[in-house]
Chains A and B, each alone.
Chain A
């Protein structure tokens, strides 16, 4: 597979003179090594940007100082009366947006049942918000089939918008005892990762006297 000398694609044989290269100009060209470093940095940025996007930003949620305040809401529950997020003030809240048509949401629900049992006595309250077009009866049937042991609320688009639009499900917010968002998880993650976030939320202290939940 030798290249014939003189052909357009041929490369001149390298001589010791050309490889030492002293007569050639080199100062103005960019070093390939530098370009590779730049490319590597860009690739890292893409990688971390992607993972940050997967975790989701919460930029649209109102801030109080440096913390993100979980917006309060009032939603009808499957059991009848409306519930407010502020009803759970002082507790750590796992707020899970889900839908009956969402396969990954269905996987999480038994985990939430276990986690509610395990961490409920320490002050965790899991709350499900069904972002569904299905009827209340269908949602109730689904929740019953899944053995859900925490309140399920009938979601509204406006509440989803308050939480950044909820473009994909499941989407879970971990809210500390002080009403501040400590974590946000988009999509299905491992149970262990959710548990770590729950511990983080439980480790927070309740806001002393002032109402910290945004109205």
Chain B
């Protein structure tokens, strides 16, 4: 028994606070990833500059992240009253928005509804947007803005719908000069 209460060695003293800190961290991490009762906020990964030619469509991937422990409805939820995740873009004149491709939702049942599968996004997901600068666009950089509307829940509660501002930049360049092969006008043809 004496050994148990023997004076602590230097190494033990150093490890003590570390052990305590690890214990507190573990306890904290076992509770909740975000403050309960507080609406989670989606984040968007910054989009690298996309270069595109005039009169040519380009697909831009927008990457979003749902905080751990939460989910949002997919773009096609299975219940008419659920609010779908939807992207709404506001484009400059002469740049046209093509198709918005939403990922398929993951069919998941939750403790609050074990018999029902909901179509949701959780973790990371990507929405692909087709951007189509018209031929009349002045070459240059264009900021494209919009909002992602979503409605999040966790395993026991839901939070009011929110709008996440979305923005990315597109650099429009001139289309390459076209060569019209016309032998009759070839500079190598001399009379």
> Which residues in chain B, 32-71, are within 8 Å of chain A measured between CB atoms?
32, 35-39
B190 within 8 Å of A by Cβ?
Answer: no
A39-B24, A167-B38 known; A21 vs B82 contact (CB < 8 Å): no
A26 partner residues in chain B, CB cutoff 8 A: 7-8
A21-B6, A43-B27, A101-B158 known; A29 vs B35 contact (CB < 8 Å): no
A104/B158 in contact, CB under 8 A: yes
In the bound complex, CA of A19 to CA of B11 (Å): 12
A205 within 8 Å of B by Cβ?
Answer: no
A19 partner residues in chain B, CB cutoff 8 A: 3, 6
Q: For the complex formed, measure the closest distance between the CB of B188 and the CB atoms of chain A, giving whole angstroms.
A: 71
How many residues on the A side are at the interface (Cβ–Cβ under 8 A)? 47
In the bound complex, CA of A39 to CA of B17 (Å): 9
Name the one of A11, A142, A170 contacting B81, with C-beta atoms under 8 angstroms. Answer: A142
Q: For the complex formed, measure the closest distance between the CB of A47 and the CB atoms of chain B, giving whole angstroms.
A: 7
B160 within 8 Å of A by Cβ?
Answer: yes
In the bound complex, CA of A38 to CA of B19 (Å): 11
B112 partner residues in chain A, CB cutoff 8 A: 103-104, 107, 188
B28 partner residues in chain A, CB cutoff 8 A: 43, 46
B20 within 8 Å of A by Cβ?
Answer: yes
A4 within 8 Å of B by Cβ?
Answer: no
Q: For the complex formed, measure the closest distance between the CB of A103 and the CB atoms of chain B, giving whole angstroms.
A: 6
User: How many inter-chain residue pairs (CB < 8 Å) link A and B?
Assistant: 132
| Interface residues on chain B, size class | 35 or more
A30/B156 in contact, CB under 8 A: no
B23/A36 in contact, CB under 8 A: yes
In the bound complex, CA of A24 to CA of B79 (Å): 70
A168/B37 in contact, CB under 8 A: yes
B20/A50 in contact, CB under 8 A: no
- Chain A CB count within 10 A is highest, among B21, B38, B112, for B112
A29 partner residues in chain B, CB cutoff 8 A: 8, 13
A24-B7, A101-B151 known; A53 vs B157 contact (CB < 8 Å): no
A188/B156 in contact, CB under 8 A: yes
A142 partner residues in chain B, CB cutoff 8 A: 81
A47 partner residues in chain B, CB cutoff 8 A: 27, 31
In the bound complex, CA of A50 to CA of B17 (Å): 24
A105/B24 in contact, CB under 8 A: no
A99 partner residues in chain B, CB cutoff 8 A: 158, 160
Known: A42-B27, A168-B159. 12 other contacts (CB 8 A): A26-B7, A29-B13, A30-B13, A31-B16, A36-B16, A99-B158, A100-B81, A103-B153, A168-B38, A169-B157, A186-B37, A188-B157
